[in-house]
Structure 1
Amino acid sequence: MSEQQPLDYSGADKMVIKNLLTVDVEDWYHICDIEHLLPPSQWDRCESRVLVNVEKILGLFDRFHVK
């Protein structure tokens, strides 16, 4: 077994921290366990909430200057 080397933090004060956020936007009827009430073949009849929710998310990003 090889010996572990100590971590080198020299220069850590000069590091630039970048954050990343991803957003997965989907209409997910299948997780609601409603197939007995509304079969998948009829899901296209349901109102899509994607546009409204994406607009809310983008509004929050704008409000908090997320780039």
Structure 2
Amino acid sequence: MRSASLDDANASRFAQYIHYLADSTQFLVISHRKGTMEAADVLYGITMEESGVSKLLSAKLKRMLSFNEGIL
């Protein structure tokens, strides 16, 4: 399923459903939608800082949220 083809309300429902199933199943969701990414536990990204060399980035959202709350 592509989250890009969903409106905001259905994208939110889709994210909630995936989160519900995540207790017993792992999912890899590819999305550029902010709402879908906000529902994730971990975000991964791939960048190419130099030609032919890819770099994997990851961010655990719960850790980032608690870090931001400590700053505010």
TM-score range, shorter chain: under 0.3
The structure with the largest helix share of the pair is 2
Q: TM-score, normalised on structure 1? A: 0.24
Q: Which has the larger radius of gyration?
A: 1
Q: TM-score, normalised on structure 2? A: 0.23
